[in-house]
Amino acid sequence: MTSEEPKLQFWYDFASPYSFLAAMRIDDLATASGVEVQYRPLFLWGVFKARGWERPPATFAARVDYMWRDVARHAARAGHPFQRPSTFPRNSVLSDRLACVALREGWVAPLTRAVFEAAFVENADIADPKVLAHVVEGLGGDGHAAVAQAQAGPAKQHLQDLTDEALSLGVFGAPSFVAEGELFWGDDRLGEALDWSLEHRVGESREAAR
């Protein structure tokens, strides 16, 4: 019996700049660590409302200015292109639902990167169904069909269920990472979350016990 591969849940929303930073690097880091990433879209605005934030911290002027500067510094350090979106926050609900469709069908990782790049590199309006269809087509998929699915009941319910699950795990912002039940918040905690999933994986104790 081999030890189960450690897993890390990656909770994100396409309106979130720090989720963009995390999405750009999580697969490379996780692969290097031998950790499996479980993509988990959520609806961040719904999380904020459930937590009692009618006005999220990141919408206050001083903090917004800082955030874009900080995100630009981090993108530059990572050597990744970045463009501040002309509208913030974007309405992300349709793109989050599209990620639910892709999750069910097994293409969520490339879709996630492509939507984040549309939002934070190309300054595209990811609330626009045509923009999302174009993103899907860039991945070789049927854009019209995928967006139609994202607009239908099952995808709406899937996103609601995932958002509720995130709340039950203690999530209050994005990105968040959950490793063996332990919550980490923010792109800057990605390394620690990966370490945690390696150090505390369920298989580890079984290994040690043999």
Closest CA to 10 of 184, 141, 210: 184
Bridge partners of residue 12, in order along the sequence:
41
Give the binding range for a copy of itself (CB under 8 A) out of 2-10, 67-75, 96-104, 146-154.
Answer: 67-75
Look-up of token digits 């292109």: 81
Q: Which among 88-96, 106-114, 129-137, 181-189 is the span making contact with a copy of itself, rule CB under 8 A?
A: 181-189
128 touches a copy of itself (CB under 8 A): no
For the bound state, the minimum distance from the C-beta of residue 206 to a copy of itself, rounded and expressed in Å, comes to 24
Nearest residue (CB) to a copy of itself, 88 versus 185: 185
Cβ proximity of 90 and 119 under 8 Å: yes
Task: Kindly state whether residue 161 participates in binding a copy of itself, applying the rule CB under 8 A.
Answer: no
4: three-class secondary structure by DSSP: coil
Nearer to a copy of itself, 40 or 74 (CB): 74
Taking the complex as a whole, the smallest distance from the CB of residue 18 to a copy of itself amounts, in Å, to 12
List 34, 57, 154, 181, residue binding a copy of itself (CB under 8 A): 57
* 151/172 with CB nearer a copy of itself: 172
Asked whether position 52 contacts a copy of itself by CB under 8 A, the answer is: yes
Asked if 172 interacts with a copy of itself (CB under 8 A), we say yes
The yes or no reply on residue 199 touching a copy of itself (CB under 8 A) is no
Q: Which is nearer to a copy of itself, 80 or 189 (CB)?
A: 189
Residue 91 CB, nearest distance to a copy of itself (Å)?
A: 23
Non-local CB neighbours of 160 within 8 Å, separated by 6+ positions: 43, 46
In order of 97, 128, 133, 189, the CA distances from 140 in angstroms are 19, 19, 11, 33
- Name residue 58's amino acid: A
Structure tokens belonging to residue 29: 């880091």
Distance (Å) of CA 32 to CA 37, 53, 62, 98: 12, 37, 37, 28
* Exposed e or buried b per residue across 84-102, where buried means at least 16 C-beta atoms within 10 angstroms of its C-beta: ebeeebbebbbbbbbbbbb
Q: If binding is defined by CB under 8 A, does position 134 make contact with a copy of itself?
A: no
List of residues contacting a copy of itself (CB under 8 A): 51-53, 57, 60, 62-63, 65-66, 69-70, 73, 170-173, 183-186, 188-189, 192
